[in-house]
Amino acid sequence: MTERYADVIIDIAHEKVDRVFQYRIPDELSDAVRPGVQVRVPFGNGNRERTGYVVDLSEETDYPPEKIKAVSAVDEKGMSVEGRQILIAYWLKSNYGSTTIAALKTVLPVKQKQKTLEKKKVVRLLPEEETERAACECERKYQRAKARVLAALQTEEELPYELIRQKLHVAASTLQALEKQGYIRIEKEAFYRNPVKAGDRSETRPALNQAQRHIIEEVLADYRTGRPGVHLVHGVTGSGKTEVYLGIIEEMIAMGKQAIMLIPEIALTYQTLLRFYKRFGDRVSVINSSLSAGEKYDQIERAKAGEIDVMIGPRSALFTPFANLGVIVVDEEHEKSYKSETSPRYHARETAVEIASLCGASVVLGSATPSMEAYYRAVRGEYKLYEMRERPGNSVLPAVYTIDLREELKQGNRSIFSRKLKELMQDRLSKGEQTILFLNRRGYAGFISCRSCGHVMKCPHCDVSLSEHRNGMLTCHYCGYQERKPAKCPSCGSPYLMGFKAGTEQVEEAIHREFPGARVLRMDADTTRRKDSYEQILAAFADGEANVLVGTQMIVKGHDFPGVTLVGVLAADLSLNRNDYRAGERTFQLLTQAAGRAGRGERPGEVVIQTYQPEHYSVVHAARQDYPGFYAEEIAYRGLVGYPPVEHMLAVLIVSRVQAEGESLGKEMTDLVKNEMADVAGLRVIGPTEAVIGKISDLYRHTFYIRHGAYQTLVEAKDRLECFCRERKLKGQTVQFDFDPMNTF
Ligand code: ADP
Ligand code: ZN
Ligand code: ZN
């Protein structure tokens, strides 16, 4: 009989997980020793008994077998919260391919010695009307940060300090100044109770409509009868999904359970967080990227200690170690940012389903444009599907006009604005209403090429074209390389070296040209490089500091601007890039979400979609806000060509210092899969080839794909390849796996 070994970690702290020890599993314990269980093992020279956690099992060892000590005992108490975290790490590693250490580090928070973060709150000292007057006064003096604080405090008597600092973008010194002026008081408390007064809590709660009540009741009924399951809420933007999440979480808390609320980082806005603070007071905690590792660790500890009931945050909030998890909500479940871009490349939606099933918790997914994956499972009955078709209250869905740009050109219009868009923008400017213009591209222009010989300016380190910025520099978006734009083509000497297509900066210039007097704010990867500038721009726009906001996809996400009554999509087909099978889905999502930004207030909204491909099904269905119509066409295409979610796909990336070595490793690996898995019907191996970007920072990239209908078959292929790489002891080369990739390597 073959020996079996257990990988054990003795200390479950993030920075200690690099040390994994191997123990032999005695026969009598062979069933009991599984990943996640707690074991007693002899440790160190004195063989003192210590407690450890099993993180993995194997049948091989790098040590002389006779030197390996045996596991002494298995803890019978059942799985602890820590054990569950480790089990999740094991699942990540097995399902997505990564090292044990990388998987553990994904799941365990970083411990850091530092003093505990003090909880503070900001209390208003003056009555509502006087605070309002003070806010107007500050506004008049252009003290906008102060005005933001006072305006927020008008409706809430007190607010969490960190919410004001992080989400209203107010400096600590501004708050101190307001305190000196006698408007506010900053109070310190180890833990504050009820940051929002009970009185206004009931006020902010709308009477739920029939659709909302139905979803809440179903989810809870399933949970109570021991079939928690996965629930997908397909609701147009503004249909009241967040109200549904709040209702479910509230009931869960009443039952003594906890909740994880995933929201993409970009949608963690002041308004959204305020709704959670208002409902759940200090039982809520938020994790986001602006927190330090130590602060995150504190939050996790509070969760473990039972001091909070709701953890809100992007992807990583998923690993909050609650003792009695009742529900995981994944809002905007279609968001690309839910997939990790580093190993293990896990998807938060799938991982949520796994964690929930380990904990007996419910999963609630929500989106206006569900991912093909989630909707496919819902249609097949694996998930329960709910539709919310209407917006509550007076707010109505916008009118959408699709404009054929080819036709505009025929009519002699060379502007980037169609006649319809121009007319509507003019109308909004004259009425003092706001417009959002959306462009799916950053930088001043796209690639730079020679109009005489076609030479394209490329990065010398990466296989991508350089983009031109207004400062005259050509920049590589992958490695940051910069060079000054040459006056003449380096290949033929022609002076006609120029960029194609408009970027956000060019749009901004065009607005100034065509609508003199318009006040414009621009938001793209360049203007939001600083961590907080993103929210600053949004706050300025919400404050009415501009009448037009121009931006890339980041502006279409979950923001509520009641003053916006017009949304223009300048070139809808820029995202219909054909070498990515998700291009149609992404275009549909972008257009639908962009359209959803219009008319969130009392006034009806209008949307103009400009495109060179008005007949494309993504454009047609988005213009009608017809998700099922889009889904039907898209899933037929995915099924026909065997793409996810109908079949599954494993992308393998080989990064090498020497180009030829990457090529030959790719060849060996594909041969191995083809030979060893020759009897698996329907298995397809594509490649190896050079990756779409063949070189980044002087490292060569090769890729190949394996496709099959069953996910587990691909996991098996991955296991074989991992085994091969381990035996090879690769030097100067790394191999990465990506299941059902969101991006092409
Ligand atoms: P979503 O999350 O689907 O975008 P929200 O839950 O944010 O929708 O709701 C959009 C707006 O409608 C919010 O201002 C919310 O307070 C309001 N709202 C939600 N449900 C109701 C309801 N039943 N009656 C009145 N207003 C509601
Ligand atoms: Zn040239
Ligand atoms: Zn580069």
User: Going by CA atoms, what residue is nearest to atom 9 of ligand 1?
Assistant: 240
C-alpha span between 132 and 127 (Å, rounded): 9
Residue of 311, 306, 345 lying closest to 328 (CA atoms): 311
This prediction has a pTM of: 0.83
Token digits for 310? 């709701």
Backbone angles phi, psi at 261, to 5 degrees: -115, 105
Same topology between domain 210-388 and domain 399-443+502-641: yes
For the chain, the structural domain boundaries read 5-107, 117-191, 210-388, 399-443+502-641, 648-739
Q: What is the CATH number of domain 648-739?
A: 3.30.70.600
Query: What is the maximum span of the chain, computed from C-alpha positions, in angstroms?
Result: 88
Q: Look at the domain 210-388 and name its fold.
A: Rossmann fold (3.40.50)
Mutate to test the pocket of ligand 1, among 241, 243, 331, 365 (most ligand atoms within 8 A of CB): 243
Q: Is the peptide bond before 344 cis (omega within 30 degrees of 0)?
A: yes
491/457 Cα distance (integer angstroms) = 10
Cα(524)–Cα(5) distance, integer angstroms: 52
Cβ burial, residue 539 (10 Å; 0-12/13-18/19+): buried
Q: What is the pLDDT of residues 392-409, one digit of tens each?
A: 766 667 889 999 887 887
With b meaning 16 or more CB within 10 Å and e meaning fewer, what string describes 190-207?
Answer: eebeebbeeeeeeeeeee
- Low-confidence residues of the chain: pLDDT under 70: 1, 14-15, 17, 111-119, 189-204, 393-396, 441-447, 451, 454, 462-464, 470, 477-480, 499-502, 525-526, 528-532, 556-560, 574-580, 599-602, 744
Determine the pLDDT at residue 200: 47
CA 352 from centroid of its chain's CA atoms: 14
> What pLDDT sits at residue 520?
94
Select from 722, 743, 736 the least CA-distant residue to 58.
Answer: 722
| Cβ atoms of 303 and 284 closer than 8 Å | no
Per-residue pLDDT, 353: 98
From the list 618, 627, 617, the residue with the least C-alpha distance to 233 is 627
- How far apart are the C-alpha atoms of 271 and 704, rounded to whole Å? 44
Contact of 526 with 517, CB cutoff 8 Å:
no
The minimum-distance atom of ligand 1 relative to the CA of 207 is 23
**Structural contact between residues 234 and 367, judged by C-beta atoms closer than 8 angstroms:** yes
Fold classification of 399-443+502-641 is Rossmann fold (3.40.50)
H/E element, 184: strand 184-189
Cα 392 to ligand 1 centre (Å): 6
Distance between CA 339 and CA 334 in Å, rounded? 10
CB 117 within 8 A of CB 295: yes
Looking at the CA of residue 246, tell me the nearest atom of ligand 1. 6
Distance in Å, CA 448 to ligand 3 centroid:
15
For residue 745, the CA-to-ligand 1 centroid distance in Å is 39
The pLDDT value given to residue 574: 65
Binding-site residues, ligand 1, Cβ < 6 A: 206-209, 212, 235, 237-243, 392-393
Task: Please give the single-letter amino acid code of residue 608.
Answer: V
**pLDDT value for 406:** 79
Superfamily of domain 5-107 in the CATH hierarchy: PriA, 3(prime) DNA-binding domain (3.40.1440.60)
The confidence score (pLDDT) of residue 351 equals: 98
